[in-house]
Amino acid sequence: MRDQQFEITARRQLGMLSYMLCIHGIIITLYLYFWGFPGNTDLLICYLVFFFFDGCPTIVLHLQYLAANRHTTLVVRDQLQTLSVCQDGVTSDYSFHDIAQVIYFAGYGNGAWYSFSEYRFFVLAFKDGKKVVISSLMMKYDKKMLERMFGKQVETRMGLFPWIKSKDLPGR
């Protein structure tokens, strides 16, 4: 198998945001078509509540994941059982045997109707104490894929919103 390189791309970002953009674009278009700008205040309030619970978490998660992985590249070499992580110009090479723990963070309702359901991340914790956060903006994955890729049992942590907390970030 060849080397796999993962980093944030515009295409991946657009793919992650596309569901939210489509749903909210359709709702806004229908609202303006049927009621115009003065519109129906009750419907506008309902939409704003929906946006607060669907659109806002998506935007916040996206920006948080972008900040965590903006200057990160992960290269996985399956045949050699190694990986390289380049963060802010510093490259670290590890063997799969150097991985102490793989923690997978996801929201409830995997693939559900809400816009942030595809946002998730995992933390690679190495035996030397270093951590690397890899978000869904870099690669599409699930728990089983991670277990196959790294040959490790993956610990899963679920929450309503899969926020990256400061303790999960490198150097914490």
On average, the pLDDT of the chain sits at: 87
What are the domain boundaries of the chain? Answer: 1-172
pLDDT at 172 over 60: no
- Interatomic CA distance for residues 104 and 144, integer angstroms: 10
- Interatomic CA distance for residues 135 and 103, integer angstroms: 12
- Average pLDDT of 76-84? 90
- Interatomic CA distance for residues 160 and 116, integer angstroms: 10
pLDDT in tens, 34-67: 877 777 788 889 999 999 999 999 999 999 999 9
Closest CA to 139 of 83, 90, 91: 83
Which region among 14-23, 58-67, 111-120, 135-144 has the lowest average model confidence (pLDDT)?
Answer: 111-120
Tell me the two tokens of residue 19.
Answer: 């569901």
Q: pLDDT value at position 21?
A: 93
> Over 75-144, what HEC string results?
EEECCCCEEEEEECCEEEEEEHHHEEEEEEEEECCCCCCCCCCCCEEEEEEECCCCEEEEECCCCCCCHH
CB 157 within 8 A of CB 103: yes
Burial of 117 (0-12, 13-18, 19+ CB in 10 A): middle
pLDDT at 130 over 60: yes
pLDDT in tens, 1-40: 578 899 999 999 998 999 899 999 999 999 888 877 777 7
> Per residue in 96-113, is it b (16+ CB within 10 Å) or e — as a string?
beebeebbbbbbeeeeee
11 phi and psi angles, rounded to 5 deg: -65, -45
Q: pLDDT value at position 142?
A: 75
